[in-house]
Amino acid sequence: MEKKTNWSVDTAHSEIEFKVKHMMISTVTGSFSDFDASIEAADDSFKNAKFRFSAKIDSISTKNKDRDTHLKSDDFFNAEKFPKLTFESKSFDGEKMVGDMTIRDVTKEITLDVDFNGIAVDPYGQTKAGFEATGTINRKDFNLNWNAVTEAGSIVVSDKVRLIANLQFIKQ
């Protein structure tokens, strides 16, 4: 049996963001400050490595307290009943990652574009690996259904949500 290498996320050098169009004219950026991620890899190419990720919904921030409270409510994530969102990869070919994303009580397969930025050793002798993963989901697929329409008839919150994860991992 081949030995797998475990990598843990370096939260100080990582960020999880999402972007969503507001009234179709501007973009709101949000992030999760409390998250965890890990990789189990056979080698340093990370091909078909197992990527796992979770974020605490309560840690959501869009730099607007009222909006964050709304996002945590049952109109969107329902942080009380569903405290985490999770992602678990099924395949990774070095560029595309396919996996199951769970938000609320819905699990759907999504595909992420992944840039593997390489491996480096930091000044403290720790081996690090960097990745940027991006993708788009339809929030309504995950029962994040709330919306409103302006007087002019434009939708307030787009259904499309862009995910951007910049993650640095430390070899264990």
Predicted model pTM: 0.92
Say what the pLDDT of residue 1 is.
56
- For residue range 16-66, list pLDDT tens digits in order: 999 999 877 889 999 999 999 999 999 999 999 999 999 999 999 999 999
Say what the pLDDT of residue 98 is.
98
Q: What percentage of the chain's residues is helix, strand, coil (to nearest 5)?
A: 10, 55, 35
Say what the pLDDT of residue 88 is.
98
- pLDDT at residue 138 above 90? yes
How far is residue 30's CA from residue 67's CA, in Å, rounded to a whole number?
A: 10
Indicate which CATH number applies to the domain containing 61: 2.40.128.110
User: How many folded domains does the chain comprise?
Assistant: 1
User: Virtual CA dihedral for 104, 37, 168, 20, nearest 10 degrees?
Assistant: 0
Lowest mean pLDDT among 32-41, 98-107, 144-153: 144-153
Q: Please give the average per-residue pLDDT across 147-160, as a whole number.
A: 81
- pLDDT at residue 105 above 90? yes
- For residue range 71-95, list pLDDT tens digits in order: 999 999 999 999 999 999 999 999 9
From the list 17, 3, 2, 10, the residue with the least C-alpha distance to 129 is 10
Domain that holds residue 64: 5-171
- pLDDT at residue 128 above 70? yes
